[in-house]
Amino acid sequence: MKKVLHYINGKSDPGHGEREGFVFNPSTGEKLYPCAYADSATVDAAVSVAAEAGKAWKSMSHARRIEVIYKFRQIVLENTHELAVLIGVEHGKTIDDAKGEIARAVESIEFATNEPHLSKGEYSRNVGGGIDVFSTREALGVVGCIAPFNFPVMVPLMMATMAIACGNSVVLKPSEKVPSSAIKLGELLKDAGLPDGVWNVVNGDREAVDAMLEHPGIAAVSFVGSTPIGEYIYQKGSQYNKRVMSFTGGKNHMIVMPDADLEAAANAFVSAGYGSASQRCMAISLLIPVGEETASKLIELIVPKIKELKVGSYDTPHADFGAVISQQSKDMAEKALEDAIAAGAKILVDGRGVEVKGKKGGFYIGPSLLDGITTDMDFYKKEVFAPVRGVLRASSLDHAIEITNTHEYGNGAVIYTRDGYSASKFGELVEAGMIGINVPVPVPAGYHNFGGLRRSKFGDGHLFGPDAVRFYTKIKTFSQRWPGSAESSIYSINFPSNK
């Protein structure tokens, strides 16, 4: 049976640990193969390799490093289908959805080619006394990336491509549920000319994470995942004096005003709410129609669209979405639905018991919709990472904004309206890091910063955008003076002044 190993120094590596776990095919529920789990010795070996390889890599010219990034972009495009199948088999998302993920990942690669411009320093000539002051940005060294299961290609590349472009080396821990894509990316980077040891993959669970957070050779850690784990990583990484940027949970609200194009809003909610079996941190979780008439009209439009959604295996033609990642995820989603009904919610579409022909053991749950959600229900408070969505009615825009801001998460928030004043007020008052105005999934383009507010993000860094360069580099500031040969030195014990 195949076994997924680690990827260290440009080749498969069994590591030093004896622990392992199984990777499942969510579409069938079958065990695929075991995956080696890293212990602290394995992480230490990866960091040592990365540190040594990073010395030469960061000393290379910008032109040479960017040449690798350019070539990598083309290789990823050429291998899109193979990567999409890897994602589909281990994650369960459809091939078309996986290809969409890869397309967004390519934006990260393209943006990383701008590193030479974004890492430029500053220069001031003759600030006083013939002294010039200038700053430079330099690589940190070895950086750690801890990626989630839901975007096995996009998130690692959002994290690591710019890190590499800046001259760092990487130790990546993908989700143990979807390990193969990260290793394939390492092989493609090697094909693009990346030196061995600059990209390393260690698989595993909390033991591997703790080893990365505690390791003195890792200068910075980026993370995407759930809020409890993300907060733990931020606090522990900071305790060990690392830079940490941690992107966590979301409960994204979509406000629909009475003046909105309701057909467009209905289509947007269904696509943004149920795509990828709702396993997206930027998925719309709650629909908030303003006014009872708006709610009635929207529900009338939305329910038939939801019922038409087709659930299938990752390779089922024309399936809208696939299985959730695990049996545990399926059980948790069904419990969230049942608890909401017990708390007083009304079920409009029930996705329990859905069956996919020939895939009886798959982790499937059909699209579900609840009405009558209130802010005191657990369904409102907790992120449900599965295709179970809710409707929470608001009496006014102010009420809708209050509902949105009452939640502890602030990842994304969306409004559908034709009124500029409502949109402006919404954008100013809502406490979310990514705002959509008639845009259902406001994930920014690769050259803008990505990140939430409140308990949807810990740390000051951002994915995507110019902030990634700031996170993955350190600044040195130089003051230099070249006195003429005939100039005499005058000694003074006063604090130096530029005058």
Catalytic site positions: 281
389 CB contacts (<8 Å, ≥6 apart)? 269, 273, 274, 278, 284, 285, 286, 287, 367, 368, 369, 370
Helix (H) or strand (E) segment spanning residue 173 = strand 169-173
**Token pair of 150 as six digits:** 């839901």
Residue from 84, 210, 200 nearest 153 by CA: 84
Q: Is 250 helix (H, G, I), strand (E, B) or coil?
A: coil
Contact 464, 450 (CB under 8 A): yes
For 229: left if phi > 0, alpha if psi spans -120 to 50, otherwise beta; the answer is alpha
DSSP 189: H
**Token pair of 364 as six digits:** 């499937």
Contact 161, 194 (CB under 8 A): no
* Helix runs in 60-179, H state only: 62-78, 80-91, 95-112, 115-118, 154-165
How many Cβ atoms are within 10 Å of 102's Cβ, its own excluded? 22
**Token pair of 37 as six digits:** 């789990």
Task: Kindly report the backbone phi and psi dihedral angles of residue 264, in degrees, each rounded to the nearest multiple of 5, phi listed first.
Answer: -65, -40
**Token pair of 342 as six digits:** 């017990």
Q: Give the integer Cα–Cα distance in Å for 93 and 87.
A: 7
**Token pair of 481 as six digits:** 């003076």
Checking DSSP bridges between strand 409-410 and strand 453-454, what pairing results, if any? antiparallel
DSSP 276: G
How many Cβ atoms are within 10 Å of 18's Cβ, its own excluded? 9
| Residue pointed to by tokens 């009904």 | 341
Contact 220, 140 (CB under 8 A): yes
